[in-house]
Structure formats: structure tokens, C-alpha cells
Structure 1
Amino acid sequence: MDRLTSMSVFVKAAELGSFAATAGVLEISPQMVAKHIAFLEAQLGIVLLNRTTRRQSLTDVGQAYYERCKIILSEVESADSLAFDMHTKPKGIIKVSAPVTFGAIRMPSFISRFLSSYPEIQIDLSLNDRFVDPLEEGIEVMIRIGELEDSSMIARRLAPYRLIACASPEYLAKRGNPDTVAELTMHDCLIYTNWSTTSLYRWRFTRNGKVEEVSVNGRFRCNDWKALLHAAISGFGITLGPETILDQEVKAGRLVRVLNNYEGPSKPMHVVYPSLRKPTIKQRCFVDEIISEFGMQEDIC
């Protein structure tokens, strides 16, 4: 027998004073009421109820047990209510992982708006360019840039992560504006080292369907692209970075796009979450808002 069910029957029997009345309220037989009480007494090795043909009463230990059972059953009801409430209303902490550059520059304003719309949600954002195991690290939602390999994840496609090349007006006034991809070899390029694990740093562009690739050189390399962005604005070289971020600098006049007649590299981007459990409502709300903010609506397999 289930102990919590038996405890519920015992509490009701103690309050109503008879097995028959308890059976009527719980819609079970008096014999089943007796079985639940007997089960508890056998488990505990004590007598909870003194029973005669005319009346029943709690023993001293039965009275104490009754009081504790009421507390336990109340806690169980509260826990069930909390779980139901969190399943029906967005509430609680969402652990999110995102790449460093995208997460640091694009996510804060989005998260601020999201939290304003959902006051009972908290966001724990972790920024990292390494591979993250969501199950091992407790991550509920991830932004991933690049091809996906993990089939255990549910993925929703976002707008591609497009890269463009830019430099400051001051740099271009001194060094000239490259007209072709090959001319990049004559320039100081600001190199994001996370894009390559070798000493050769290759930038790839496309024009009229033809791919052109060049090995670039530069005196400043960094694994945090934000540092390279500041260096480009300071006039130290040409940076290759996210179009959505660099466009803001171009509009502000701090940078100028180079190689306008070429398309820069493009990487797929997705929001993903584990498929091993049903997503919570807070998770679904966050994913839906990310899709609305950053990309396309199609699911992928």
C-alpha cells in the first residue's frame, strides 16, 4: 500500500471518528479503511486507534502521529501545488549558455526586456565558447553557433551568424581600402583566435557564388572578439566580426565596411535545449522569445 494514501485515510478516520463515515467521504469501503490503518500500524509496530464496536479513539501515540501526518500531508499538497504552479506560470531560474561575443553584446538588452515581461523569472547566463554539456552542467537553454552534432538536443533555427569586415576611417585613410580579398594580405588584420586552432588564420568570402579564401596576418590576436572590436575602432586594423554588431558601429561612423562587393562568412545559429525531459513553461517562454528576437521560426530535426 502507498504510505501517503494510508496516512490520508488515517487522518480522515481520526477526524470523523468512524470507519463508516471515512469510507463514505473517501468513496471506499469500510474494510479498505481498516486495511489502511492496519497497514500503518504494522509498519510502525504500534496501535494508532483503539477500536470497539461502538466507538474509536486515538491512542496517545496515535494522537501525536495524527498531528505529524497532518503536517506531512500539508507539505505534500504544497509541493504539488508549487510544481503545478511552476508548470502553468513562468517562474523560477533559467540557466542559459551562450557564446561569449554574442552573449555579451546581443543578449543583455534582450534578457532585460524578457525579465521585465516575466517578473517571477530569473536568468543565470553563462558565457563560454567551449562545448557545453547541458545535462552535466544543468543548462536549460543554449545558443549555439556552427553546425550541430548532438542529436539528443531539440534545436530551433535562428538567423545565420553573418560576419563582415570593417576598419576605422582613420585606418583606411592611412592604409587604403582593400578592393579584393587577396589585398587583405597587405593589411593589419585583427585575428580572433577561437576561429582557428592552427597558426594559419584564414578568412573566407564569397562573390558571385565563388569562394575566395586568404591567409591573413596581424600583430594583434585575441580570444575575446570585443577586444578586437575596440582595437578596430582605435584604428589598429581590420576586424572580421558579427554583422549585427558591426552594423551599429558603421551607422555610428566609428567603422567602415570593407569588401562591400563580397559576402562574408556565415555560420548557422540555433537555440537548443535537452530533449530528455518535457520543457517547462519558463523554458518554452524563453525559447519562443529568443526565436522572436533573433531569427526564424522553423523547427529542425
Structure 2
Amino acid sequence: MDRLLSMTVFAKAVELGSFSAAADVFRMSPQLVGKHVLTLEQHLGIRLLNRTTRRQHLTEIGASYYEKVKVILAEVAAAEGLAAESHARPSGRLRVNAPLTFGIHALMPRLTEYMATYPDVQVEVSLTNRYVDAIEEGADVVFRVGELADSSRIARRLAPYRLILCASPAYLASHPPIISPMDLASHECLGFAYTELRSHWSFDGPDGPVTVPVTGRLMIDSGEALLMAARASMGVMLQPAELLEADIAAGRLVRVLPKYRAPDRPLHLLYAPDRQMTPKLRSFIEFSVAVFGSGKD
């Protein structure tokens, strides 16, 4: 006999207090219920139930066995529910956290595709450059730019974040020429707060990698605000390509040191290892890897 079925029948007989009541639930005869219980007893070599013509009650070992069986059946039900859920249509509220510039210029233009594909998912997006443990604060997934310091999260590597060095034509016309990265030390460099970009910029050039200490009177924690400052000829900026390409194409900004490439910054998608892999979470992870990959995990 199927041992799991026998356990299920045994547990139901205990809970309902009789073989006949359990038989009604499973649409089988009371004799077959008794056979399932007997099969378990023979397999275990113990008596689980003391039975008379009027009543039944658990033996001491039978009571302990019943408690274990309840746990096993609950785990089986949970596993089957998880398998069924994995095939279910993604639905419910999905909370996403991302840096401002990436969120506005990369995520938001593509998010409509995800929401059109999964109309039963409601997406709540939080955009901030302040470093917080967004998952602890309730986010399901987090986009993170830069090196990861927290190894307690599951990280999916995405395509790196490309940075561009630029300034306005007016700024470049009124300041000494920038021929090499070291010339930046004597310029107003618009610093990005809370990251390494506030104090030093690195490049790969014809002669290899070089890191330059940078200073400036203006430091902001928003790429969009830095863009306004660069347009106003307040200094040189090093920010993501998504933020700058339109201004460069329109001539409002000019690339500086085009032969020197700023190292790409890592981009990851994070989620908690204990977070249940619901259909909505799985679908968004797969979407993000497809759209913003690949970073070669």
C-alpha cells in the first residue's frame, strides 16, 4: 500500500475519532481504513491504536507517531503548494528599490514591458541614492550599483554600468584644457555624494589604468542634479551613459578625454535568500536578467 496514503488515512481517523468517519472523507469502506492502519502497524512493528467495538484511542507510541505524521503531511502539502504556485500566474504587489539615475533612465522605460506582460502584478518602485537595507525595509528586489559589501543576499550580476566624463562647451572654453586625467586635479569636478566618485576618479587609457584625486565645491547625491550643474557650466562630471547621452547628442555637453574609459561599475539585482520564490518574484528576476544582463554570474 502507499505509505503516504496510509499515513493520511491514519491521521484522519485519529482526528475524526472513527474509521467510519474517515471512510466517508476518503470514499472508501471502514474495512479499507482499518487495513491502512494495520499496514502501518505491521510496517512499524508497533500498535498505534487500541480498538474496541465502540471506541478507539491512541497508544502512547501511537500518539507520538501521530504528531510526527502531522508534521510530515504538512510538509508534503507545503511542497505541493509551492510546486503549484510556481506554475501560477504572477500576481500581487512587488516592491522594487533602485538608485535614482538607473531607476529613471534605465528601469522605468522598460518597466512598462514587464507590467504589460504580467497585468496582475502591482509594482511599487522606490528610488533613492541613500544606502539602506531596502530588503529589511520591505523591498522584494533591489538594484545595486557598485561593489557589494553584503554577502547575506542572493546577487544576480547584470551588465555593468558605463560611466562617461563630460562638461559643457562653455565650461571647457573658459578653463585650461584637459589633455590627460591628471589635469582634472585642477578643475571643478562635480562629486557624487556617498560613493567613491566623491573623491577620486579612475580611468583606463593608452598607458594603462590611472586614478586621479578630484575636488570641487559642489557635491550632490543625485545624478539628475549633477546634470543640471554641468549644463550650467559648473564643472566636469562623471556619470552613467543613460543620463548623459541625450545631452551629448544635442551638444549641451561634450565628452572629455574620449581615449580614457572610466571602469564600468558593477550592477546587481539582490533579493533575500529566505524570500519565497513566488511567481511574481521569479518573473521579475527573469525579466531583469533578460533586459539588463548579462553580467556573467
Gaps of at least 5 residues in structure 2 are: 1-6, 35-53, 55-79
Equivalent in the alignment of 1:149:
149
Taking structure 1 as reference, are residues 19 and 292 closer, same or farther at Cα in structure 2, changes over 3 Å only? closer
Q: In the alignment, is the contact (CA less than 8 A) between 1:188 and 1:219 conserved in 2?
A: yes
Gaps of at least 5 residues in structure 1 are: 33-51, 53-79
Q: 1:220 aligns with which of 207, 212, 218?
A: 218
User: Within 1, Cα distance between the matches of 2:25 and 2:215?
Assistant: 84
Equivalent in the alignment of 1:270:
268
Equivalent in the alignment of 1:202:
200
Q: In the alignment, is the contact (CA less than 8 A) between 2:165 and 2:239 conserved in 1?
A: yes
1:89-112 CA-partner distances (Å, limit 9, x unpaired): 111111111123222332211222
Q: In the alignment, is the contact (CA less than 8 A) between 1:19 and 1:30 conserved in 2?
A: no
User: Within 2, Cα distance between the matches of 1:20 and 1:217?
Assistant: 79
- Whether 1:238 aligns to 2:236 is yes
Counterparts in 2 of 1:63-142, with a 5 A limit? 84=84, 88-133=88-133, 135-142=135-142
1:137-159 CA-partner distances (Å, limit 9, x unpaired): 22211111222233332222111
User: Within 2, Cα distance between the matches of 1:274 and 1:182?
Assistant: 42
User: Within 2, Cα distance between the matches of 1:27 and 1:133?
Assistant: 58
Taking structure 1 as reference, are residues 221 and 23 closer, same or farther at Cα in structure 2, changes over 3 Å only? closer
User: Within 2, Cα distance between the matches of 1:280 and 1:291?
Assistant: 17
Letter in 1 for 2:194: N
Report deviation, 1:114.
1.4
1:28-55 CA-partner distances (Å, limit 9, x unpaired): 65877xxxxxxxxxxxxxxxxxxx9xxx
Report deviation, 1:286.
0.9
CA RMSD of aligned residues (A): 3.6
> SS state of the match for residue 213, structure 1?
strand
Taking structure 1 as reference, are residues 122 and 24 closer, same or farther at Cα in structure 2, changes over 3 Å only? closer
> SS state of the match for residue 268, structure 1?
strand
Letter in 2 for 1:190: L
> SS state of the match for residue 102, structure 1?
helix
Q: How many residues are aligned here?
A: 247
Equivalent in the alignment of 1:40:
none
Counterparts in 2 of 1:169-208, with a 5 A limit? 169-175=169-175, 177-196=177-196, 201-208=199-206
Q: In the alignment, is the contact (CA less than 8 A) between 1:159 and 1:294 conserved in 2?
A: yes
Q: 2:254 aligns with which of 253, 256, 278?
A: 256
TM-score by length of 2: 0.69
Equivalent in the alignment of 1:41:
none
> SS state of the match for residue 159, structure 2?
coil
Report deviation, 1:134.
5.2
> SS state of the match for residue 242, structure 2?
helix
Equivalent in the alignment of 1:35:
none
User: Within 1, Cα distance between the matches of 2:285 and 2:295?
Assistant: 11
Identity of matched residues, %: 38
Q: In the alignment, is the contact (CA less than 8 A) between 2:121 and 2:280 conserved in 1?
A: yes
